[in-house]
Chain A
Amino acid sequence: DAGITQSPRHKVTETGTPVTLRCHQTENHRYMYWYRQDPGHGLRLIHYSYGVKDTDKGEVSDGYSVSRSKTEDFLLTLESATSSQTSVYFCAIAKDGGGYSDTQYFGPGTRLTVL
């Protein structure tokens, strides 16, 4: 158990509405990540954080923003959801300092459907 929870686990929303997904960890690790998973693409990095208020963009960051005001919480916001953002979203943490050799541990995922 990686000590990661994601909420909500499922969400259906309409195009144009804002959506916030939450990732919570219980172990106070510095590095946290948001990915989206789509068939044929594997997982693609959206944003990541290397500390409170320290975030950076990943491969597919357009249309997404993040915030991290506490070590344990990493929020992903879709300011105005579009159908192309229908996906399964995974949060991950790195337990050993966030170096490139560190294993990432994943949460259970949030399935988001944008109608």
Chain B
Amino acid sequence: EDQVTQSPEALRLQEGESSSLNCSYTVSGLRGLFWYRQDPGKGPEFLFTLYSAGEEKEKERLKATLTKKESFLHITAPKPEDSATYLCAVTGAQKLVFGQGTRLTINP
């Protein structure tokens, strides 16, 4: 059974303080690993897809990396508007299996 575990559950940073979120996964035949952002009261919003170990994707202050067992979402010099829940998901077939998310708070 496909499984995704994210850590930490919650993270509070000061504005400008860089950090990383972790996503560990087990899946039979990885077809893709996905990062989504979810704001309160909203549906998840797609950020990145990673397909193979060693791959990296960047968007503004965010960079996602992938190994054979885990993915990291690096946040560089975050701003308060980066506050959200970040969800990791994997797919081995058609459906996405999500982790429980990391709730990130950036204090000004």
A, B assembled together: no
Residues of B that sit less than 8 Å from A by CB: none
Residues of A that sit less than 8 Å from B by CB: none
